[in-house]
Homo-oligomer: A and B are copies of this chain.
Amino acid sequence: MSDTIGVAMLGHAFMGRAHSRGFREVGYLAQPTLRPELISVSGRNREALVAMQKRYGWAEAVTDWREQVADPRVGLFDNGGPNKIHAEPTIEAMRNGKHVLCEKPLGMDAAESHQMWAEAERAGVQHMCGFNYRFVPAVRRAREILESGGIGDVVHFRATYLQSWGWEADTSIWRFDKAQAGTGAIGDLGTHIIDLARYLVGDIASVSALVRTVVPGREIDDHFVATIEFENGAVGTLEASRLARGRINYNAFEVNGSKGSIAFDVERLNELQVADEKSFTRVLVTEPEHPFMQYWWPPGHIIGWGDTFTHEIAHLLAAIAGEGTVAPHGATFEDGYRCAEVTDAILRSAASRKTETITYRGSDA
């Protein structure tokens, strides 16, 4: 087996930059057995593409992703494009035997996401959906505490993902175009907290939701709130908004168990609040024994949001190299699909004004 893997990436905007940096940083930080070789980046804006190519060292810039998914040098296809073009290129890549990393939300809805998962299973490749918050050290630490029974049985979960840029947003970007994005706050922010809910507590059995487009003239949602029931009996709330003044990137959750609680806020990415029966302790998740911190600095020297992609890519490369598996700590396409069932149920419930029960399909593969 070679010690390098050719990577092709679709996308040159926010996620394109975050992933590109991850592929660079992973080399000198995690030092994976399988080292990424940056073959090509693709996208529609030629100028942005060339700037991107030069900045991050992609060998080629191409305008047609079909070149990438057919390229024999490519072993890993990374899809960081708009939601609408997640499915087709990713499926094509998998059919060509490429391992895949696809940004969230996986597909435009549960049906499309399911198809992507089924294709992945059929192709037998490694597949990962880009839920990068699983790769925050404090989030992984939260999962460790939960798995070890550190806070007992979970009874409540609440998560909000609040931003405020929606008030002044340039709505010409794809994120406000229903045809390209599908949903707004739901797909962009809501999927992150749904995935965290699933990662930390378990699958969601039912949802009751309200969805709102507040700013006039928009096609897609600015905000939703939901109550949820987990399959294990815990209940909770979810909320995502692009219109919460004073909140910049407030992706925050709290889990209450029978013996203690855990709380987290991504604006304070390196901190985990851990409660016993009475009181919360602020833990700086920067000790050598904390997840991922073997790559980093002495205690108290914090890491950044972008570094979660480095962890994510290292995790995927290890799975491809046969040194681990994507699941359970990385999100597979099955996770991407299951998340999409929840977002579909949110939309159904907002329409029906009823609690919607969720049924999950097998892979059919």
Tell me whether B297 and A14 are in contact (CB under 8 A): yes
Per-residue B-contact encoding for A267-278, CB less than 8 Å = 1, 0 else: 111100101111
Could you tell me the distance in whole angstroms from the C-beta of A125 to the nearest C-beta in chain B? 28
Whether A300 and B261, one on each chain, are in contact in the complex, defined by CB atoms closer than 8 angstroms, is no
- A165-B299, A245-B260, A245-B276 are known; give 20 further A-B pairs, CB within 8 A: A21-B28, A155-B214, A163-B300, A212-B235, A225-B235, A237-B237, A243-B256, A244-B261, A245-B277, A245-B278, A246-B260, A247-B261, A250-B300, A278-B284, A281-B281, A281-B282, A302-B302, A302-B304, A304-B304, A354-B355
A window 222-260: CB within 8 A of B: 223, 225-227, 229, 235-237, 239, 241, 243-250, 256-260
A286 interface residue (CB < 8 Å to B): yes
Residue A332 interfacial (CB < 8 Å): no
Q: Chain A 337-365, CB within 8 Å of chain B: the 1/0 string?
A: 00000000000000001110000000000
In angstroms, Cα B155 to Cα A82, docked, is 28
A52-80 Cβ-contact flags toward B at 8 Å (1 or 0) = 00111100000000000000000000000
Q: Is A256's CB under 8 angstroms from B248's CB?
A: no
Closest to A54 in B: B31
Count of A residues near B, CB < 8 Å? Answer: 88
Q: Is the CB of B235 within 8 A of A210?
A: yes
Complex formed: what's the CA distance from A261 to B21 in Å?
35
Q: Complex Cα distance A249/B227, Å?
A: 22
Chain B residues with CB below 8 A from A160, complex form? 158
Q: B residues within 8 A CB of A283?
A: 278-279
Pair B245/A223 contact, Cβ less than 8 Å: no
List 20 A–B pairs whose Cβ atoms lie within 8 Å, in order of A's numbering: A24-B24, A155-B223, A155-B241, A156-B223, A156-B239, A167-B277, A210-B235, A245-B260, A245-B261, A245-B275, A245-B277, A245-B278, A246-B278, A278-B284, A279-B281, A280-B282, A297-B305, A302-B302, A303-B305, A354-B355
State whether the Cβ of A301 lies closer than 8 Å to any Cβ in chain B. yes
Partner of A20 from B28, B268, B269, B296 at Cβ < 8 Å: B28
Distance (whole angstroms) from the CB of A62 to the closest CB of chain B? 20
Q: Is the CB of B299 within 8 A of A302?
A: no
Check A191 for interface membership: any CB of B closer than 8 A.
no
Residue of chain B at shortest CB distance from A287:
B278
The residues in A between 155 and 180 inclusive whose CB is less than 8 angstroms from any CB of B are 155-156, 158, 160, 162-165, 167
Chain A window 12-38, contacts with chain B (Cβ cutoff 8 Å), 1 for yes, 0 for no:
001001101100110111010000000
Q: Is A6 an interface residue (CB 8 A)?
A: no
Chain B positions within 8 Å of A21 at CB level: 28-29
Q: Does A151 lie at the interface of the complex (its beta carbon under 8 Å from any beta carbon of B)?
A: yes
Closest to A212 in B: B235
Residues from chain B with Cβ under 8 Å of A279 in the complex: 246, 281-284
Instruction: Confirm or deny: A216 has a beta carbon within 8 angstroms of a beta carbon on chain B.
Output: no
CA distance A280 to B248 in the complex (A): 10
